[in-house]
Chain A
Amino acid sequence: NAGVTQTPKFRVLKTGQSMTLLCAQDMNHEYMYWYRQDPGMGLRLIHYSVGEGTTAKGEVPDGYNVSRLKKQNFLLGLESAAPSQTSVYFCASSYSLRTSGSYEQYFGPGTRLTVT
């Protein structure tokens, strides 16, 4: 199993450009999450999904959009990148507590995004 994969690994954008980050998992997890990691702030949840076709806002959703058209994929979009979105982005997935009795998250390797 590949687990959770993310593409791309690195990206540099100019202010105002758009891009999509792709997350894929092969563990049949119901839930998927997008976080951003900034120094001294831990991980902050951007958006999450509890199933195919459903998405919801997390703690810091402004400037991002997401889609989950297939259970195994979760896309994060930046429509008009800003320097404040320079960060490391992590995707994670998990079973639900209700169905598995446990819900530890499995993380991808991250995408380092720089917006100039």
Chain B
Amino acid sequence: AQSVTQPDIHITVSEGASLELRCNYSYGATPYLFWYVQSPGQGLQLLLKYFSGDTLVQGIKGFEAEFKRSQSSFNLRKPSVHWSDAAEYFCAVGAKTSYDKVIFGPGTSLSVIP
């Protein structure tokens, strides 16, 4: 069965510092991987996705993620964090079943210190 873990419940970084959010997944086949962001009081918005090909994926808002099959990881990175990046971040893994099933991780809450 699919599963997603995000080891960090909450992370605090200073504005301008680099960021890495960790995501590990469990899935028996090639996964489809996603990162979503949720700003306070809002729905989720897709940051980036990996389906196949280049393992380094670029997304919106300056984010990127790298798929590492050997480590079953899909970590999200940003070189310089902005105060507006404070939000909840969800990693998700998808599989082709009877429908396009997606399992979400528990989320990592990001705080940014000015």
Contact = CB atoms under 8 A, between A and B. Distances in A.
Contacts of B101: 45
Contact of B99 (A31, A40, A41, A43): A31
A13 B98 CA distance: 34
Contacts of B96: 97
B30 interface: no
Given A94-B100, A104-B34, A108-B43, 4 more contacts: A42-B107, A50-B98, A97-B32, A107-B36
Interface residues of B, number: 25
Interface of B: 4, 9, 32, 34, 36, 41-46, 49, 51, 90, 94, 96, 98-102, 104-107
A48 B99 contact: yes
Interface of B, secondary structure class, is strand
23 contacts: A31-B100, A40-B106, A42-B104, A42-B107, A43-B44, A44-B104, A45-B101, A50-B98, A92-B43, A92-B44, A96-B99, A96-B100, A97-B96, A101-B51, A103-B32, A103-B100, A104-B49, A105-B102, A107-B43, A107-B45, A108-B43, A109-B43, A110-B42
B106 A110 contact: no
Contacts of B4: 42
A34 interface: no
